[in-house]
Amino acid sequence: MKKIISITLTLIFALAFIGCGGSDKKADNNKKEITIGITPVPFKEIVEKAQPELEKEGYKLKIVEFTDYVTPNTSLDDGEIDANLFQHVPYLNKFNEEKHTKLVPVANVVIAPMGVYSNKIKNLKDIKNNAEIAIPNDSTNGSRALKLLESAGLIKLKKGEIVTKFDIISNPKNIQIKELDAPQVVRVLDDVEAAIINTNFALDANLSPSKDSILLEGKDSPYVNALVVKEENKDKEYIKALSKALNSPEVKKFIEEKYKGNLIAAF
């Protein structure tokens, strides 16, 4: 009899545990508060514009601001946030490769063309010999910046998706490349001949890419900024709702009217 009671209790506890697990999984799939990580400009404004669309679907949105390009991904991988919006897909792919993470894009949002800015020259043809140009020091944005210089005919690079200043094979004006953390590049604009700045940091410094840059990436840029989540969560209902809100007609209209070509809706 004691054995029968013991087996019965074991089965009850096992079934209760399985039931709770299933309930937790369902609750996680249908969570109603979503935490998204962003870098401030322009992504905070875009996400805030999507908030009313989410609220119509019964979701609340919590926005967490970051000022660098690493912490939003590590926080996402650690489960501290549910999604992030700040990076283009080539950067994400490189991050996954280097950090062994499984983060995936689920919705394209905007293209933010990278630009060359200067307080000293009006045209890159006027750049002096031995001039110093500041670029981001992360591998993907650094490559992007160098390829922009190559498109202007200032340097020639080895073939490759990811390149560094050591892959420059022709540099007639002996341009000096100064590598800095992406948020710092705009801050040295007065100290260098030119600086290649990501659009979000340019806008944050009240620079207009379409008006203030002396060279800007074309609209065919492959560097699309996307909503990113952990691979295991990509099909969750709350992620689908967030993707839909960020790709809504209201958000597209906001991007077109607010940024006037400085940002391009990618949906």
CA–CA gap between residue 192 and residue 178 (Å, rounded): 9
Q: What's the average model confidence in pLDDT over 18-23?
A: 45
Q: What's the average model confidence in pLDDT over 6-17?
A: 45
Residue 18 pLDDT > 50? no
Residue 10 pLDDT > 90? no
Q: Which of 3-12, 28-37, 191-200 is the most confident on average?
A: 191-200
Q: What's the average model confidence in pLDDT over 48-67?
A: 96
What is the predicted pLDDT for the residue at 28? 65
CATH superfamily ID and name for 31-113+222-265: Periplasmic binding protein-like II (3.40.190.10)
How many residues make up the chain in this entry?
Answer: 267
What is the predicted pLDDT for the residue at 11? 44
Q: What's the average model confidence in pLDDT over 110-132?
A: 95
- CATH 3.40.190.10 in the chain: give the residue spans: 31-113+222-265, 115-216
3-state helix, strand, coil in the chain (%, to 5): 45, 20, 35
- The per-residue pLDDT of the chain, averaged, comes to 90
Q: Which two tokens stand for residue 55?
A: 């609220």
What is the predicted pLDDT for the residue at 233? 98
Q: What's the average model confidence in pLDDT over 228-250?
A: 98
Q: Which two tokens stand for residue 18?
A: 């399985």
Q: What's the average model confidence in pLDDT over 123-140?
A: 95
Q: Which of 84, 111, 51 is nearest to 241 (CA)?
A: 51
Residue 200: pLDDT band by 50, 70, 90 thresholds?
A: confident
Q: What's the average model confidence in pLDDT over 236-243?
A: 98
Share of residues in the chain with pLDDT > 70 (%): 89
Q: What's the average model confidence in pLDDT over 116-141?
A: 96
Put simply, whether the predicted model's pTM sits higher than 0.95 gets the answer no
Residue 119 pLDDT > 80? yes
Residue 13 pLDDT > 50? no
CA–CA gap between residue 199 and residue 113 (Å, rounded): 6
CA–CA gap between residue 133 and residue 183 (Å, rounded): 15
What is the predicted pLDDT for the residue at 222? 82
CATH superfamily ID and name for 115-216: Periplasmic binding protein-like II (3.40.190.10)
What is the predicted pLDDT for the residue at 197? 97
Q: Which of 262, 241, 251 is nearest to 109 (CA)?
A: 251
What is the predicted pLDDT for the residue at 26? 52
Whether the link from the prior residue into 172 is cis, omega within 30° of 0, is no
